[in-house]
Amino acid sequence: MKKTCIFQDTENIEKTKDLLEVAERMYGQGQFQSHAVLLEASSHCLHGSFHHIIRVAEGLVDAYDPRGISDVLENLHQRNRFDSILIPATSLGKMIAPRLAKRLGTGLSAGVTDVKRQKNRIEIIRPACSGKILEVIHHRGAGPVMMSIRPDAFEYRSRGGLQTQILEYTKPVTSRSTVQRLHVEENKLSYDIRESRVLISGGGGVKDDFPELFRLADALNGSVAASRKLVDQGIAPRSIQVGQSGKTVSPSLYMALGVHGTMQHIAGLRNIETIISVNRADNAPICSLSDIVVQGDAAEFIDRLMEKISIYRSEKKES
Ligand SMILES: Cc1cc2nc3c(=O)[nH]c(=O)nc-3n(C[C@H](O)[C@H](O)[C@H](O)COP(=O)(O)OP(=O)(O)OC[C@H]3O[C@@H](n4cnc5c(N)ncnc54)[C@H](O)[C@@H]3O)c2cc1C
């Protein structure tokens, strides 16, 4: 029987439960023992889905400390000899996975979006070059198969009904944390991009000017959306991401500023009346979908358009 260990990101436990689907694709239903490793949060929603829930004792390690968490996972692997270790590719997961792989002397497939079993080989699939190509990886060597997995790439339909054993991990961690949480800031964006008639959408090309989009959106009575690039970089919240793993939007006007228009982004655009794209490169895929293409710098475009809007408004007032 294979053994898989799944680290649960406390930010979204329901979602990381989906990683069970990865184990099922690798080993087949009922062919593996699942271990969930959990810090601080309630394990209730995992009961019946996992064979073992390993709760890290309170106060042993901070939930945002990748070194301490890697210590815990390394120790657990030494005790249990897992065949695979699966970590969600969240901000925290992306800090833990490479550290742990190095400590265990095994390879890491990072940002995995698909897993297949072909005869006796496991094919691990991940996008590369900003999603333009897909890599197929075969794991070799004696170490555990280690993957970090993109959120929303898999969906697990829990059949439940397992006898879950709850264990407590109490071994003190040896690594000292170099991270200190100073304060927590709430996400203040409460609108739903699916309801906006005008969307000003920002991508990698406006990563340094993202706040400017809100100025333009205000002036046009619209809302701001973003590509996944800005979400992954922590510049925009996930709630405003357009695309395959974000939201599908159908505004009257979609203004894509510094958005390349990969297929995963375009997957979120439906029945849009007018698309305007502003891009330095006129051969970006979004341009071929657009009604109007402006070739140039997006931040400069915003400045110039804001000027025009303010001139138009003052002329309108006067007349
Ligand atoms: C399973 C999976 C799901 C995904 N889901 C999504 C999703 O839901 N949504 C999504 O968006 N992506 C998604 N992606 C990621 C997607 O593949 C791309 O990586 C991402 O969309 C790229 O974002 P971008 O176009 O903003 O950035 P980039 O690829 O960095 O493109 C930036 C663009 O801006 C232009 N540019 C650069 N500087 C300027 C400037 N100063 N002014 C104007 N233009 C400029 C460049 O020419 C380029 O075209 C997914 C990927 C995978 C594998």
216 Ramachandran zone, left/alpha/beta (phi>0; psi -120 to 50): alpha
Res. 64 pLDDT band, cuts 50 70 90: confident
Cα–ligand 1 centroid distance for 283 (angstroms): 14
pLDDT at 11 over 80: no
Asked if residue 246 belongs to a domain, the reply is yes
Mean pLDDT value across residues 175-181: 76
Cα–ligand 1 centroid distance for 211 (angstroms): 18
Asked if residue 18 belongs to a domain, the reply is yes
Q: Which residue has the higher pLDDT, 271 or 183?
A: 271
The answer to whether residues 163 and 243 belong to one domain is no
CA 293 to mean position of chain CA atoms: 29
What are 248-302's pLDDT values in tens digits?
899 999 999 999 999 999 999 988 999 999 999 989 999 999 999 999 999 999 9
Asked if residue 187 belongs to a domain, the reply is no
Can you give the CATH number for the domain in which 161 is found? 3.40.50.620
What is the rounded average pLDDT for all residues in the chain?
Answer: 91
pLDDT at 180 over 70: yes
pLDDT at 130 over 70: no
- Which mutation among 207, 238, 260, 304 tests ligand 1's pocket best, with the greatest number of atoms within 8 A of CB? 260
Asked if residue 27 belongs to a domain, the reply is yes
The answer to whether residues 254 and 301 belong to one domain is yes
Asked if residue 185 belongs to a domain, the reply is no
Which pLDDT does position 187 carry in this prediction? 63
Which pLDDT does position 188 carry in this prediction? 67
- Which mutation among 259, 270, 293 tests ligand 1's pocket best, with the greatest number of atoms within 8 A of CB? 259
Cα–ligand 1 centroid distance for 261 (angstroms): 6
What are 49-61's pLDDT values in tens digits?
999 999 999 888 8
Query: What global pTM score does this model have?
Result: 0.63
pLDDT at 160 over 90: no
Asked if residue 175 belongs to a domain, the reply is no
What are 232-255's pLDDT values in tens digits?
999 999 889 999 888 889 999 999
What residues pair up with 85 in beta bridges, in sequence order? 5, 146
- Which mutation among 229, 240, 277 tests ligand 1's pocket best, with the greatest number of atoms within 8 A of CB? 229
The answer to whether residues 224 and 258 belong to one domain is yes
Question: Residue 127 CA: which ligand 1 atom is closest?
Answer: 53
* % of the chain beyond a pLDDT of 70: 97
Q: Is residue 162 within 8 Å of residue 48, measured between CB atoms?
A: yes
Asked if residue 242 belongs to a domain, the reply is yes
The answer to whether residues 162 and 198 belong to one domain is no
Token couple for 287? 């341009």
The answer to whether residues 13 and 109 belong to one domain is yes
The answer to whether residues 145 and 25 belong to one domain is yes
Which pLDDT does position 186 carry in this prediction? 67
Of all protein residues, the one whose alpha carbon is nearest to atom 39 of ligand 1 is 205
Res. 114 pLDDT band, cuts 50 70 90: very high
Which pLDDT does position 41 carry in this prediction? 67
Which pLDDT does position 120 carry in this prediction? 82
Which range, 46-60, 144-158, 179-193, 205-219, is most confident? 205-219
Q: Tokens 């439906």 appear where?
A: 270
Res. 16 pLDDT band, cuts 50 70 90: confident
Asked if residue 180 belongs to a domain, the reply is no
Mean pLDDT value across residues 123-134: 81
Of all protein residues, the one whose alpha carbon is nearest to atom 32 of ligand 1 is 204
The answer to whether residues 161 and 14 belong to one domain is yes
What residues make up the domain containing 293? 193-318
The answer to whether residues 26 and 106 belong to one domain is yes
Res. 12 pLDDT band, cuts 50 70 90: confident
* % of the chain beyond a pLDDT of 90: 65
pLDDT at 177 over 90: no
The pocket around ligand 1, CB under 6 angstroms, is made up of 113, 127, 130-131, 150, 153, 203-205, 227-229, 241-246, 258-260, 262, 264-265, 268, 278-281, 284, 297-298
Res. 211 pLDDT band, cuts 50 70 90: very high
The answer to whether residues 156 and 201 belong to one domain is no
Can you give the CATH number for the domain in which 218 is found? 3.40.50.1220
The answer to whether residues 157 and 216 belong to one domain is no
Q: Is 281 exposed, middle or buried (0-12, 13-18, 19+ CB in 10 A)?
A: exposed
Q: Tokens 């997957």 appear where?
A: 267
φ, ψ for residue 252 (rounded to 5)? Answer: -70, -40
* Domain end point (choices 119, 154, 169): 169
The answer to whether residues 67 and 104 belong to one domain is yes
Which pLDDT does position 55 carry in this prediction? 93
User: How many domains, the chain?
Assistant: 2
The answer to whether residues 163 and 39 belong to one domain is yes
Cα–ligand 1 centroid distance for 78 (angstroms): 40
Res. 35 pLDDT band, cuts 50 70 90: very high
